[in-house]
Structure 1
Amino acid sequence: MSKTFRLISLFSTVELVLHGIWEYTACGFLYSMEGQGFIEHQLLMIQATIGDVFIALGLFLMLAFVNHSFSWFLKNWERKDYIISTLYSALAAFYFEAHALQLGRWEYQDTMPLVYGTSIALVPVIQLALLLPLGFIITKKIYQIT
């Protein structure tokens, strides 16, 4: 198996686990899923988790392009890596939340904190800002062990 394929597969798996845990944890008490049956809810959770993995892969590919290497994150991060990750995370969260709200895929419960001056929840912004870099860190640790 090539090093690049191994890194991408490992990163995708790590992000799948991280986002799966987050989605199932946060959605239970911060999102309103009224009117959805069990299967509809499970399908939405699976779609959201897989969507998060594709968002993470987009960042992975963007940073691989900028750094001219698929294994860039195995080294120390540079300032541009942090800036790109933060901006990408925030923009992706805002876009996908606004899109889902417009389509009526979900609603927020009263307990959901919003980004000041917007109708977008703070939680998905934090989710992507934390879990995308954490996925790189965990992948790096696992890769170095194996």
Structure 2
Amino acid sequence: MRFLTRIIAMSRAVRLGRQFRDIDRAIGDLSVPARKQLALLAMKEFACAAKSEFPHLYGTPPDQRYLPWGAGTDIGFERARSENLQVRLRGAAMWLAVAYHETKDSPYAELQSLHRQLLRVLRTLKETAAGSGDAAMAEWAAREAAA
């Protein structure tokens, strides 16, 4: 059973890693105002995910709650590939929130590595947000920096 669990975790890490590379590239291609907007949306998505009963299943339809992992990353990834900037930003924010919670306390090295990469991207967004002059964004960046 451990072998099967390990294979499932590795396949999930590969899938999330592929999606992360695309999300990271898309974030890097954004203009500074769009990154600030993404940081605000990510803050909202993290707050919504944290309020849900199972944050790693945020965005997953109720009938799919018993799958090995949720559909939030897939939904967010599809939205992040949209031609519409607002849909793309909301999708990336959702993907970041769900992937963060999914990889947060993982015992598997592949998912821990992905979590560290996610933290790097989130730190970059927080630094962008801290320079925006928006009080809510500065508070979010300061609160997360203390954590």
Q: TM-score, normalised by structure 1?
A: 0.30
RCO (CA 8 Å, sep 6+): is it higher in 1 or 2?
1
Q: TM-score, normalised by structure 2?
A: 0.30
Larger Rg: 1
